[in-house]
Amino acid sequence: MRTAIWLVRHGQTPLNKQRRFQGRTDSPLTAFGVLQAQALARRLQRISFTVAVVSPCERARATVAEVLRKREIAVVEDVRWSETDHGRWEGLTYAEVRARFPEEAVARFANALHGRAKGGESLAEVNARVLEAWNSLLSRYPGGRILVVTHAAPIQLILCSITGLAPTDYWRWRVDLGSLTAIDVYGGGPIVRVVNEVPQLGVRG
């Protein structure tokens, strides 16, 4: 029996474009982000999904709405698929963080697994909830075709887990905006089919 899981990173937002920390902070898709979502829709149009699981934020909801437009597929929101909560760094650039919270920035990156921004999450905490969400999918929808619309960190952490890498090696996986990663899970283990495929945007007249 195969459970097929398609992990999609949402389309571009203004905060992405400005290279600002964006975890729990909500931000709409840009016009380009909408085009990315529409490209994903074309790429995935022939797949009969059992269910769509979505991070509960505007950028993920807008992406899944484009991907599943005119399709009758149940959408379930799951906070465990949210991006890392960056606490008081939310909405700031890295340069702004270094200027405002220099000691906190050094401390966070010196401890890759347990460091955190004040009020935010550590990588260890994000990893724990994402793996719980992953295992929940496998137990709840065995043999299904599952669409998950989420963020970079959750996808990177899943890839680390199934390939035996430490969570702190998450940065080794490039996961672009508007990309998809496909994993088939069999009784003997997972097979990675696609990583970071970015569908071609439509041609505008």
Catalytic center residues: 10, 83
Of 53, 45, 47, nearest to 82 by C-alpha is 53
CB 151, CB 80: distance < 8 Å = no
Of 44, 13, 25, nearest to 148 by C-alpha is 44
Rounded CA-CA distance 75/165 in Å is: 31
Of 141, 145, 181, nearest to 161 by C-alpha is 181
CB 201, CB 11: distance < 8 Å = no
Rounded CA-CA distance 144/142 in Å is: 5
Q: At what angle do helices 123-140 and 152-163 cross, to 10 degrees?
A: 70
Place of tokens 């437009």: 69
